[in-house]
Amino acid sequence: MAQLSHRGPRPMTDNRRESSTITEDLPVQCEIFPDDTHRDHQKLMAHPFAAFSKSLDEITYRRKYSDGRTVKLEVRALSHYGMATIHDFDVVLYVISVIREAMNRGDDPPRTVTFTPRQFLKWTDRSTGGRAYDNLYESLERLASTSVKTTIGEGESRRENMEPWLAWSIELREDGETLRRNDQVTVRINSWLWKSVAENEFVLAIDQEYFGLRSSYERFLYRVFRKSVGQDNFWGWKMKALYEKAGTDVRYSHFAYKVRQCAEKDNLPRYRLSVMEGEDEWVRAYDRDYWQKCLNDELRAPPKPWEIGH
């Protein structure tokens, strides 16, 4: 179960360079643009690494599986920019996609990835207006100042040191203290995450429409069910289990209300959600094509969620 804490808004500083996390010695290694396949990391999708709100200070999570495995993780925000959010993680997904694209071309997995802000914004279907570059700068700062340690990939041994999600450097190509469209940004993701991607583990293609989701709840639900459903057509989770996997400190009742809203709005790419209310509330996700074929009596309806899910 995840334990979360926050202290509310942090003071901001006008001189961002004085308190920046920018690293000066990252080599420019890989500048290729990822293909049309957008990728995520299954372990990041399955556990509460990404916060719903930057106001959180800490996430502590522990889950014991039926086969005896125990997953532990601790995430801490260490700067006034706050904790890295599920929207900030688009930068990590971009880097993962570039690494896999390089590997698909037969190259060694690059340790650093270089891009321009405009390339990133276009790839994630974001606006390329002026504020978008400030938002990207702040996302990089939060990712570089949010540290994590976890037992994932380390067997039963827990990491002794906190490690930031990434390090980054910048070569300004245009005047100004903030990012601009053609500035050159170089990013190096942390060692355990890079190792798992480089060894062809845990990477999963996601829909491009994911980046158009503005709600943290919709993004969270899509990622959980994209990982859970996999090549199947449906899956189910207890609402309380989803709550424990979420990087949010809202009350359970509010979380459940927001999930029901997401099911009613039906905005998720690929999946249609339904909520079965009761003493044990269940959230089900169905592949949309499968759902339609069931409605047309072309396929048999899936089993009850408690027969397939968690």
The whole-angstrom separation of Cα 141 and Cα 50 is 15
pLDDT score of 128 = 87
What are 39's strand-pairing partners?
Answer: 205
Q: How many Cα atoms within 13 Å fall on the side-chain side of residue 69?
A: 8
pLDDT score of 161 = 66
β 113-115/203-206 pair status: unpaired
β 113-115/184-189 pair status: antiparallel
pLDDT score of 306 = 46
The whole-angstrom separation of Cα 220 and Cα 211 is 12
pLDDT score of 24 = 57
Handedness of CA 13, 186, 125, 109 (dihedral sign): negative
Considering only 38-42, 146-150, 295-299, which range has the smallest mean pLDDT?
295-299
What are 41's strand-pairing partners?
Answer: 203
The whole-angstrom separation of Cα 187 and Cα 144 is 10
Where do we find the tokens 């993680």? 89
pLDDT score of 55 = 92
Burial 14-26 (b: 16+ CB within 10 A, else e): eebeeebbbbeeb
pLDDT score of 109 = 92
3-state secondary structure of 179: coil
- Confidence at 223, pLDDT banded by 50, 70, 90: very high
Where do we find the tokens 């959010």? 85
Please, are residues 284 and 270 in contact by the beta-carbon 8 Å criterion? no
β 184-189/203-206 pair status: unpaired
Q: At what angle do helices 90-104 and 191-198 cross, to 10 degrees?
A: 40
- The pLDDT tens digits of the residues spanning 44-58 come to 998 999 999 999 999
Where do we find the tokens 């009350």? 251
Considering only 6-10, 25-29, 169-173, 279-283, which range has the smallest mean pLDDT?
6-10
- Confidence at 10, pLDDT banded by 50, 70, 90: very low
| Residue of higher predicted confidence among 100 and 160 | 100
Distances (CA, A) of 237 to 62, 88, 221, 273: 18, 26, 10, 11
pLDDT at 15 over 90: no
pLDDT score of 35 = 64
pLDDT at 202 over 50: yes
The mean per-residue pLDDT over the stretch 167-187 comes to: 79
pLDDT at 156 over 50: no
Considering only 110-114, 129-133, 197-201, which range has the smallest mean pLDDT?
197-201
Q: What is the pTM of this model?
A: 0.86
Residue 224: both structure tokens together: 């959980």
| Residue of higher predicted confidence among 294 and 99 | 99
pLDDT at 183 over 90: no
pLDDT score of 79 = 83
The whole-angstrom separation of Cα 303 and Cα 280 is 16
Q: At what angle do helices 130-145 and 90-104 cross, to 10 degrees?
A: 80
Residue 178: both structure tokens together: 């903030």
3-state secondary structure of 55: coil
φ, ψ dihedrals at 130, nearest 5°:
-55, -45
Q: What percent of the chain has pLDDT over 90?
A: 51
280: left (phi over 0), alpha (psi -120 to 50) or beta: beta
The mean per-residue pLDDT over the stretch 298-308 comes to: 61
Rg of the chain, C-alpha, whole Å:
20
What are 283's strand-pairing partners?
Answer: 237, 275
- Confidence at 139, pLDDT banded by 50, 70, 90: very high
pLDDT at 154 over 60: no
pLDDT score of 230 = 72
| Residue 213 CB coordination number (10 Å) | 21
pLDDT score of 157 = 46
The chain-wide mean pLDDT, for the chain, equals 83
